C-alpha cells in the first residue's frame, strides 16, 4: 500500500448553503442514470449538493443507433461525455467530473477480453493512485454520503469492480486526511421488487419495441430484501430519470411510457423509479429508512 494523501490535502469548505452533500462514483456514463437517476434528481431539487464522479468515458461500449455505430474509441468517449452532460442537465446536477480528468482512465470492456490488458484501462489502474484523485474531490466536497457499487460491481464488470475498490480506498484515505464520510451505500434492488417488475414486464412485453425480456440475472445488485436499508421514492422524478436515460442514446433505448428500457442486447427490463440502497458504513436504523442522510449529525454537516 502507498502512503495516505499528502498532509497538504485537507478538507475544503463547500458553500454553506449545501448542508447536505452526496457523492456518487460510477464506472461509465449512463450507469448513474440507470442506478440513481431518481435519487440524484430528488436531492438536487431539494437543494443538496450532488457530485458525480465517472471513472471512464465508456470508450468500448456497444452503440445502439445505427447512425452512431461508426463511433469507437476516443470519438465514442467524447460523444458519451456529451450524453452525460445532457443527462445531468435533465437531473439538475451541476457538479459532475471525470476521475483524474478526461482521458485519465479508459473503459476496460467486459471481463475476460483483450481490452482488460490495456495499460490505460481502469482495470489496470493502481487503486491507490486512482483513489488519490478521488480523495481530492472528497476533501473539496466533504460529502456526508457516498454511493457506489458492491465488491462485485453489481454484475461483475471490471470497471464497476474497480470503481468500488477506488471509492472504498478513497474513503479510507480521506478519513486519514481529515474527512470521514459518515454514510456509505451500495446500489441494490430487492429481489421481490425485481421479481414483481419482471412479472409485469411479461404481460406488457407484446406492446413494447423489444422482442424479448431480460432476466433477473441481468439486473445489477439484486439481493434479498432483508439487506435493503434505505428506499428512495423517486416517483416525482420518474420523468427526469427517463429523460436522463434517454440522453444516453448510444447505450439505452427507453420504451414509450417510461416503464421499461433496453441496452444494446435489446432485452427489455424494468425502469425503477424507486431506488434502493444498502448501508455498509454508518449506524443502521432498526427500520428501513427513506433518506440517505438519515442519522447525519450537525457535526457531520459542517
Kindly report, residue by residue over 138-182, the tens digit of the pLDDT.
999 999 999 999 999 999 999 999 999 999 999 999 999 999 999
- DSSP calls for the chain: -PPPPPTT-------TT--SEEEEEESSTTHHHHHHHHHHHHHHHTT-EEEEEES---TTPPP-SGGGTT--HHHHHHHHHHHHHHHHHHHT--EEEETTSTTSSB---STTSGGGG-TTBGGGS-HHHHHHHHHHHHHHH--SEEEE--TTTTT--HHHHHHHHHHHHHHHHHHHHT---SEEEEEEEEHHHHHHHHHHHHHHGGGSS-SEE--GGGSTTEE-GGG--EEEE-GGGHHHHHHHHHH-TTT-EEPTTSSEEE-TT-EEEE--SEEEEEEEESPPPSS-BS-TTTT--TGGG-
Q: Tell me phi and psi for residue 220, to 5 degrees.
A: -65, 145
Q: What is the dihedral of CA 12, 18, 21, 22, to 10 degrees?
A: -130
Which residues have a Cβ under 8 Å from the Cβ of 116 and sit 6 or more positions away? Answer: 108, 109, 123, 124, 158
Q: What is the pLDDT of residue 7?
A: 39
Residue-averaged pLDDT of the chain? 93
Cα 50 to Cα 23, 149, 174, 197: the distances in Å are 6, 17, 18, 28
Q: What is the Cα 257 distance to its own chain's centre?
A: 24
Share of the chain above pLDDT 70, in %: 93
Q: What is the pLDDT of residue 153?
A: 94
* pLDDT beyond 90 at 16: no
- Segment 227-241 mean pLDDT: 98
Kindly report, residue by residue over 103-125, the tens digit of the pLDDT.
999 999 999 998 889 999 999 99
Give the residue ranges of the annotated binding site for Zn(2+): 28, 31, 160
Q: What is the pLDDT of residue 12?
A: 47
Cα 258 to Cα 63, 110, 241, 254: the distances in Å are 21, 27, 9, 6
CB 28 within 8 A of CB 153: no
CB 147 within 8 A of CB 101: no
CB 185 within 8 A of CB 164: no
Q: Indicate whether this model's pTM tops 0.75.
A: yes
Q: Tell me phi and psi for residue 79, to 5 degrees.
A: -65, -40
Neighbouring-strand partners of residue 275? 232
Which class in CATH covers the domain with range 21-281?
alpha beta
**Residue 259 and residue 242: Cα distance in Å, rounded?**
8
Give the residue ranges of the annotated binding site: 28, 31, 160
Domain boundaries, the chain: 21-281
Count Cα neighbours of 196 within 13 Å in the Cβ-side half-sphere.
7
Q: What is the pLDDT of residue 232?
A: 98
Amino acid at each position: 500500500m502507498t502512503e495516505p494523501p499528502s498532509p497538504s490535502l485537507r478538507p475544503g469548505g463547500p458553500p454553506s448553503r449545501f448542508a447536505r452533500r452526496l457523492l456518487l462514483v460510477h464506472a461509465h456514463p449512463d450507469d448513474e442514470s440507470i442506478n440513481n437517476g431518481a435519487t440524484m434528481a430528488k436531492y438536487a431539487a431539494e437543494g443538496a449538493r450532488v457530485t458525480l464522479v465517472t471513472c471512464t468515458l465508456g470508450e468500448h461500449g456497444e452503440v445502439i443507433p445505427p447512425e452512431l455505430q461508426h463511433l469507437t474509441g476516443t470519438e465514442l468517449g467524447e460523444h458519451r461525455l456529451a450524453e452525460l452532460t445532457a443527462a445531468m442537465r435533465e437531473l439538475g446536477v451541476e457538479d459532475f467530473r471525470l476521475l483524474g480528468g478526461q482521458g485519465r482512465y479508459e473503459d476496460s470492456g467486459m471481463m475476460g477480453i483483450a481490452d482488460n490488458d490495456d495499460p490505460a484501462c481502469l482495470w489496470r489502474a493502481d487503486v491507490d493512485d486512482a483513489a488519490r484523485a478521488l480523495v481530492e474531490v472528497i476533501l473539496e466536497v466533504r460529502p456526508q454520503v457516498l454511493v457506489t457499487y458492491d465488491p462485485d460491481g453489481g454484475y461483475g464488470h471490471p470497471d464497476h469492480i474497480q470503481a468500488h475498490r477506488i471509492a472504498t480506498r478513497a474513503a479510507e484515505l480521506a478519513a486519514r486526511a481529515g474527512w470521514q464520510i459518515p454514510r456509505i451505500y451500495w446500489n441494490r434492488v430487492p429481489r421481490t421488487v425485481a421479481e414483481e417488475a419482471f412479472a409485469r414486464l411479461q404481460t406488457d412485453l407484446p406492446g413494447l419495441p423489444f422482442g424479448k425480456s431480460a432476466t433477473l440475472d441481468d439486473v445489477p445488485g439484486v439481493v434479498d430484501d432483508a439487506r435493503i436499508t434505505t428506499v428512495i421514492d423517486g416517483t416525482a422524478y420518474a420523468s427526469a430519470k427517463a429523460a436522463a436515460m434517454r440522453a444516453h442514446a448510444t447505450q439505452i433505448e427507453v420504451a414509450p411510457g417510461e416503464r421499461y428500457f433496453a441496452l444494446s442486447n435489446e432485452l427489455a427490463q424494468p425502469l425503477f423509479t424507486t431506488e434502493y440502497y444498502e448501508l455498509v458504513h454508518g449506524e443502521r436504523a432498526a427500520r428501513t429508512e427513506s433518506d440517505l442522510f438519515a442519522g447525519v449529525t450537525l457535526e457531520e454537516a459542517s
